[in-house]
Amino acid sequence: MSSLSSPSPLLLHRPLVFAPSPPLRHISPAIPKPSSPPPSARAGARLSRRSRGRTISSCSLEPAPMERTSIAEVSLPQDLLSYARAYWVARFLIAWNINDDDDACVYLYASRKASIFLTDEGIEGYDVKILLEPEYNGLPANVTEKFPHIVNYRAFKISQSVDIGNLLKCQLAAAFYVDGKCENATGLQLPGVLDDLFAYNGPLGAVFSKAAVTLYLWAPTAQEVSVCVYEDPLGGEPVESVQLEEFGGVWSAVGPRSWEGCYYVYEVSVYHPSTSRIEKSTVNDPYARGLSSNGKRTWLVNLDSENLKPEGWDKLADEKPGLLSFSDISIYELHIRDFSASDYTVNCDIRGGYLAFTSQESAGIYHLKKLSNAGLTHVHLLPSFHFAGVDDDKSNWKYLGKDDGEMAKLPADSDKQQAVVTAIQDEDGYNWGYNPVLWGVPKGSYSGNPNGPSRILEFRKMIQAVNRIGLRVVLDVVYNHLAASGPLDENSVLDKVVPGYYLRRNTDGVIENSACMNNTASEHFMVEHLILDDLLNWAVAYKVDGFRFDLMGHIMKRTMVKARSTLQSLSKEKDGVDGPKIYIYGEGWDFGEVAKNKRGINASQFNICGTGIGSFNDRIRDAVLGGSPFGHPLQQGFVTGLSLEPNGYDHGDKSVTDRMLSASADHIQVGLAANLRDFVLTNHEGKAMKGSEVLTHDGVPVGYALSPTETVNYVSAHDNETLFDIISLKTALELSVDDRCRINHLASSLVALSQGIPFFHSGDELLRSKSLDRDSYDSGDWFNRLDFSFESNNWGVGLPPREKNEKNWPLIKPRLANPSFKPHKHHILAAVDNFVDLLKIRYSSPLFRLMTTNAIQERVRFHNTGPSWVPGAIVMSVEDGHEGRPGMAQLDPIYSYIVIVFNACPTKISLQIPALKSRMLQLHPVQLKSADELVKESSYEAASGCFTIPRRTTSVFVEVRGA
């Protein structure tokens, strides 16, 4: 790594010189309390406003206010300074949404000791007071591009003689005076000026050389930083305490190489707006690459050390499973604990952790090998960085213990199971992990020992083991929010180091929580910098093959494009990583404060197209299953009986449901064509339309992608109910379990045989149930159990936890209580076989995995369309060219033509497709050998172009070259 680059002369600051303080002055207790609680940084965080009676002589451009004899009557709301409604957007520029009054004066105040308070005459307790001049040209374009939500704010200039660097280390306030009377006051948001003054591209964290260890911490608002070095991971006194020196906003210290293997924490003294105090916080290194248990301390670790590498680690890049194109990708989403916690073929010491993936003879690994051999390419692991919610020390965990056996005897619809599970959910070993604390270190609870090298070594062994069974590994990264903020929470890191910078705030200065909690702000330079560095860490140090971005729409498009470019630039020769093979995708939902580009161009579905970055296609999910995760759970869709087999929910009369079914088919067809914006198809009204012209019920275009690898098609994921559970909710009560199993397979087939990238939730192929739990993030092993012995799919293990499910208990209870809903082992085994068949079919021909938009437009056609369609059936054909013939290029040496028929009807159907007459089509060889006897009844008659398809069946017909 390069040495710390020298800042420009403008980054060198003179210290503020403060005049001696006059005697302390007492504040009258008659000052009223705030009319409403000051905004808190997060639920449960303490936020206090301190009115301290210290008046300090000013070294400002104007004299300090005259001493007051009484301030018992106060007219201004006393919580004004708890907000941050002004933005310091650039070096010499502040924006504030206040009245345009030519007679007004605006001042900036600073206090090194956080002594500022508000009286009815204005700001007092300051060290520095600066008159701000109006900037009549308004905010410049580079500012409004970065902060579009304040485009109409007034702009004010700061004199270029002001020592800004030192002001930024103070408590700051702005006040607005008219005719000498203070009309308004506020704190300030600083990310703009920090980026302008202190944007930095050099090394951060611990940098190792032959003779030394150098620590770098970006903390431009800190007044003082020291590091405490420990020999022990948790206890003991520091063996050394070193004061860091600042240069250009970066604090650094050089220690001996003997520090390697020790633990350290920073002590940062900094003004924190959430408490209005100078806080001295103990905090981990944001660039930590190792941790002690529960993130108590940062471990000084060199990830290049040989003792942290499994045997053959440096050659892993050459052993990676082949990947010719991103179009060849298929993804299996898996939670690390789910994979083995209930697998008794795994040694009990490693169940639920990283090393379970190295247990080559286990039932889970045997299953993954089976999927890999059928064609599956990637395993997507839910969050595995250091997150809150699970104690790293397993000795502190609580277990169901003997309750496990007793709970198994309880009725399927009992509420006792969830009560037992939720009673220990904060102290067990289970959580999905979407509550980040530190992004760059593997989670300790999945390792044999959370202290020392185990978590690093075991994580690498997991990657290596999964690669060696033919699967690449995707990490779920959560850069859109953090678990905690403020100076008091033990899980707060970034907000302790540079308070108010890393988190996105609204126009009052309150932290945005639309992404769950503590939304981060990738539009700020050093947030983006940290994200990019973290991705490089996982890609290079852990040889990860892809990244799934949680709530990607809350990250700026610019950041995502840089992330892709940065990862793709890696090479095996230079970095030991084949960067062009790293695929990234995410949730491109457009909501909250970032919706419609209100905070800049965000990485939403519509914005991200054309970048080569994938986004989840919720259009096909909702059309296949019905409604949405936010609608009524009984809303039906294409496979769950809409119009064809009503479940009693009032969707409207038959004409309405028929139109809904037709529209669902249109949406699915766009999805089957990789959800391409410009793909042309015939809609249910018989009109030729582009994918972007087909609209959802609320007028949103269905098609948005510009290339097939930008679409990730799915019908289920860790969020919401499992596929089998949602089918069990939405289908008619009288349906047999046999039919529900067929519907499960039909829904999976729509994903598996679509153009674009198919994505499956682990257990879809096992008829996985979570007993109808719609959000099992903290529901323990009991509701999340995966059974690779195939004895049970986990249906009917009790009413799911009250928190997210209680309002649906009246729907859930009768279904769980009905024994006919529960699949038997033969159903589960059949589902596995059918899923394996789907993978084999997908990878039997490149025609299922077309690589370009033009190829899909040229080769993919839909039949049975328009007003005369046979309801409930989708017919898709994919054509290939012939070698030596002009026109369409040949891609497949075996098949020249493929037809897929999806029949969602509860009965057998016959479809006559004139355009498909006289072809030499036969049922796919995989289906001819299928264990599913029903699919073998599928037939095609060349003379009439008639297809006969059994109920709830997907049939694939192929034309063999030379037949």
What does the block give as tokens for 499? 């308070």
Crossing angle of helices 723-730 and 618-625, in 10° steps, is 40
Is-catalytic flag, 550? Answer: yes
Q: Rounded to whole angstroms, how far apart are CA atoms 318 and 106? A: 63
Considering Cα of 143, then 148, then 152, then 153, what sign does the dihedral take?
A: negative
CB atoms within 10 A of CB 162: 17
CB 421 within 8 A of CB 410: no
C-alpha triplet 878, 879, 884: angle, nearest 5°: 155
Is-catalytic flag, 489? Answer: no
Q: Rounded to whole angstroms, how far apart are CA atoms 587 and 187? A: 34
Residue-by-residue DSSP string for 572-626: HHHHSS-GGG-EEEE-----GGGGGGBTBSB--HHHHTTTT-EEEEHHHHHHHH-
Instruction: Kindly name the residue from 476, 489, 587, 773 that is annotated as catalytic.
Output: 587
Q: Rounded to whole angstroms, how far apart are CA atoms 728 and 939? A: 30
Residue-by-residue DSSP string for 452-491: TTHHHHHHHHHHHHHHHTT-EEEEEE--SB-S--TTT-TT
CB 742 within 8 A of CB 951: yes
Residue-by-residue DSSP string for 354-402: GGGGG-TTSHHHHHHHHHHHHT--EEEEP--EEESSS-S-GGG----TH
Coil vs helix vs strand at 224: strand
HSE-CB for 29 with a 13 A CA cutoff:
0
CB 784 within 8 A of CB 335: yes
Q: Rounded to whole angstroms, how far apart are CA atoms 786 and 780? A: 12
User: Measured in whole angstroms, how far is the alpha carbon of residue 137 from the centre of its chain?
Assistant: 40
Instruction: Kindly name the residue from 124, 523, 550, 725 that is annotated as catalytic.
Output: 550
CB 445 within 8 A of CB 433: no
Q: Identity (one letter) of the amino acid at 290?
A: G
Q: Which residues of 929-946 are buried (b: 16+ CB within 10 A; e: fewer)?
A: ebebebbbebbbeeeebb
Phi and psi at 359, nearest 5°, equal -80, 85
Coil vs helix vs strand at 755: strand
Q: How far is CA 729 from CA 751, 801, 826, in A?
A: 20, 17, 22
Q: Rounded to whole angstroms, how far apart are CA atoms 592 and 534? A: 25
Residue 144 makes CB contacts below 8 A (sequence gap 6+) with 150, 151
Q: Rounded to whole angstroms, how far apart are CA atoms 294 and 260? A: 20
Coil vs helix vs strand at 953: strand
CB 943 within 8 A of CB 912: no
As annotated, the active-site residues are 550, 587
